[in-house]
Amino acid sequence: MRPEHPIVLITGASSGFGEAMARLLASQGCHLALGARRVERVQALADELGKAHGVKVFAGAVDTRHTASVDTFVTEAAAALGGLHVLVANAGLASGTFKMWETPDEDLEAMMRTNVEGVVKTVRAGLPHLRKAGWGHVFFIGSTAGHQPYEGGSVYCASKFGVKAMAQSLRLELNGEQIRVTSVDPGMAETEFSNVRLKDEDKAKAVYQGVKPLTAFDVAECVRWCLMLPDHVNIDEILVKCVDQASVHKLHRRA
């Protein structure tokens, strides 16, 4: 059964969805293992949350593209906290808005290695600890781009379709074990996502102009709700968008 204070590992925890999840789950009494490439930011977050909520928080550097980095982070986190119950494979990014034939190798590899390979490596490293605990929950952070492709997003969409497939496959593979699998798939959400993708602050701001998008805490609340449900309940997938976004291609903008 779900422990009173689950131990939750989150990748990409230095900002955006990952930071919001850390803040919300710490307030619920969860112990945390927070990983990111920007280790100074994630360490500061860990110190803050530990003091504010009296929970145990481990912070470490992790680059989910690299197997050794993931394995080291997961091993050290489990040792420091006494195990793991929940994995949130949150680290991900979009890079550029290229047509498929224009996509540079740098952007192609960044998205596929982080969004697909990084998720596999995170689950592969963390799953033995969930099995040892006898109860677990794996969260994939997908996207509406994994449900409906769009122009200029071929590689990013392919990576998020891959996340959806991995979540569905893992759920089948773990059937019979007390490990839940959930994919949370947000639409437009205002985080650092567009800054990273467009590499231009003004262009990033324009993405959200006239729209009230999701916040990182809206997405974090989806994770919290799924996690806190009774043990026999598994939410397979949450497709969540702001009211202004009817689909990938239909968005209401106010003047």
CATH 3.30.390.30, applies to 7-240: no
Q: Give the whole-angstrom CA distance, residue 133 versus residue 233.
A: 19
* 45 neighbors 55 (Cβ within 8 angstroms): no
54: left (phi over 0), alpha (psi -120 to 50) or beta: left
pLDDT of 86-117, one tens digit each? 999 999 999 888 999 999 999 999 999 999 99
Q: For residue 171, what are the contacts with CB-CB under 8 A and spacing of at least 6?
A: 181, 234, 236
pLDDT of 153-197, one tens digit each? 999 999 999 999 999 999 999 999 999 999 999 999 988 766 777
C-alpha of 119 from chain center: 9
Kindly state the average pLDDT of the residues 78-92. 97
Active-site residue, 150 included:
no
Q: Give the whole-angstrom CA distance, residue 162 versus residue 173.
A: 16
Residue of 159, 163, 208 whose CA lies nearest to 183: 163
pLDDT at 200 over 80: no
Residue 83: burial class (beta carbons within 10 Å; 0-12, 13-18, 19+): middle
Find the catalytic residue in 58, 140, 156, 193: 156
The reported pLDDT for the residue numbered 202 is 79
Total-model pTM = 0.95
Q: For residue 113, what are the contacts with CB-CB under 8 A and spacing of at least 6?
A: 65
Instruction: Tell me what the pLDDT averaged over the chain comes to.
Output: 95
Strand, helix or coil for residue 207 = helix
Kindly state the average pLDDT of the residues 60-77. 98
